[in-house]
Amino acid sequence: MCNRSCNCLIAVVDLRMIVIVWLSLSATAWGQSDPVMTLITDRDSIGVGEPLTLQLVSDEPLQGGQRWQWPQLLAGDSLAQGWEILSVSPIDSSASPVLDAGLRRRQDIVVLAWDSGMKAIEPIGLVDSGEVAAQTLRAIIEVGLVPLEANAVPKPMQGFKAYHFSLWDRLQAMLPWLIGALLAFVLGRYAYLKWRSREATENDEEAGTEPLIPAHVTALALLHQLEQEKPWNDGRGKEAQAILSEAVRVHLQGSFGVKALERTTDELAQTLRSAPIKGMAADESDWMIALLQRSDLVKFAKQDMDGDAHLRVVQESIAWINRTIPIETTAPEGAASGENTPPQGHE
């Protein structure tokens, strides 16, 4: 009786295996339409803090051009039940060996756990439009404490050898630094001397090009020429203001040593605010800056002046230069205006 029952049970099992094999062959022949996600672990038990390698494998059919979203796992993230992700490999894609027209994707994930006991790795799935299309089975991993030795002591250092540095070794180690410091000193010294020689050259050039005629005489000559020719009557107002500005700057640079010819009016005003002109009253300096600013407006076509205004500003400039001639400078007889105008103090 037992033998007959056993034989019947074996026959039923054989029949079920045949049905499963037939269904598998039929699915392969007719074409699989759903993806399959598999999780492979390199072992089923690890120690606390010991790395465990997981491999995600998917077989995805390519019919219809459908693609499924791979799970986003990053190093430093955590899985459920406290699994810490140490590293994640790039996704490897190849032809599926189990599908006629399919794609296989693989990715290795290294995880570890810091708590002991039976811990599960929850299912990880492929997503299609926010819904899980396929997922792995739940895996159970035993995490145990790593047993210590009976008398655990620190291991001696392997391959360590004491080495004593000699004075020559220390000098050799310091030699590159000494050479670098010496080169830096030499280059710095060279740059400093070059800068000083350039400054001296510039001073020599300025001294060599200094005119023999006093600067205020040259400036007054330019202004008297403007007063006589009146170029603004011929529509040359911009040219007249440019000559007036140059005359004022020649007097300022030649008589007081202020580099006015090579600076803009704004730069000159900023310089005079921080370092007033020695030998010139503050209101005279302010008047001069206002004059240059008004002249710039005419030169750059931002403002216009009539003929009387041009003549008045020229005459005021002549009076300003006469008021601000340095005391130690004596105007030569008959220069510029034909008269010897003695220096006048500020009224």
pLDDT of residue 145: 82
Q: Summarize pLDDT for 57-83 with one digit per residue, the tens.
A: 998 888 777 788 889 889 989 888 889
Question: Does the pLDDT of residue 97 top 50, yes or no?
Answer: yes
Mean pLDDT value across residues 225-239: 86
Q: Summarize pLDDT for 284-316 with one digit per residue, the tens.
A: 888 888 888 888 888 776 667 787 888 888 888
Q: Say whether both 135 and 234 belong to one domain.
A: no
Q: Which residue has the higher pLDDT, 139 or 197?
A: 139
The answer to whether position 186 is within a domain reads no
pLDDT of residue 53: 93
Of 155-159, 324-328, 330-334, highest mean pLDDT: 324-328
pLDDT of residue 21: 44
Distance CA 310, CA 331 (A): 26
pLDDT of residue 181: 93
| CA angle, 194 then 199 then 200, to 5° | 100
The CB density around residue 242, as the number of other CB atoms within 10 Å, is 15
Distance CA 111, CA 122 (A): 13
Distance CA 248, CA 258 (A): 11
Which of 95, 129, 144 is a domain's end point? 144
Which of 90, 112, 144 is a domain's end point? 144
Phi, psi dihedrals of residue 86, rounded to the nearest 5°: -85, -45
Q: Summarize pLDDT for 250-296 with one digit per residue, the tens.
A: 988 888 888 888 888 888 888 888 888 887 888 888 888 888 888 88
Q: How confident is the model at residue 344 (pLDDT cuts 50, 70, 90)?
A: very low
The answer to whether position 78 is within a domain reads yes
The answer to whether position 150 is within a domain reads no
The answer to whether position 155 is within a domain reads no
The answer to whether position 337 is within a domain reads no
Distance CA 245, CA 261 (A): 9
Q: Say whether both 40 and 137 belong to one domain.
A: yes
- Where helices occur in 84-236 by DSSP H, the ranges are 167-208, 215-229
Which of 92, 112, 144 is a domain's end point? 144
Query: 95: domain CATH number?
Result: 2.60.40.10
Residue/partner pairs of 119-124 with CB below 8 Å, 24 or more apart = 119/81, 119/82, 119/83, 119/143, 120/80, 120/81, 121/39, 121/41, 121/54, 121/79, 121/80, 121/81, 121/83, 122/79, 122/80, 122/81, 123/39, 124/37, 124/39, 124/56, 124/71, 124/73
Determine how β-strand 84-88 pairs with β-strand 36-41: unpaired
Q: Which residue has the higher pLDDT, 221 or 152?
A: 221
Report helix angle 307-323 to 282-299, nearest 10: 150
The answer to whether position 207 is within a domain reads no
The answer to whether position 296 is within a domain reads yes
Mean pLDDT value across residues 217-235: 88
Q: How far is CA 288 from the centre of its chain?
A: 45
pLDDT of residue 88: 93
DSSP sequence for 162-176: -----HHHHHHHHHH
Question: Does the pLDDT of residue 223 top 60, yes or no?
Answer: yes
Q: How confident is the model at residue 328 (pLDDT cuts 50, 70, 90)?
A: low
Work out how many domains the chain is built from and give that number. Answer: 2
User: H helices then E strands: how many in the chain?
Assistant: 7, 10
Give the residue among 233, 191, 343, 236 at the shortest CA–CA distance from 280. 343
pLDDT of residue 198: 78
Question: Does the pLDDT of residue 224 top 50, yes or no?
Answer: yes
Q: Which domain holds residue 316?
A: 215-323
Q: What is the mean pLDDT of the chain?
A: 78
The CB density around residue 128, as the number of other CB atoms within 10 Å, is 15
The answer to whether position 287 is within a domain reads yes
Q: Say whether both 38 and 139 belong to one domain.
A: yes
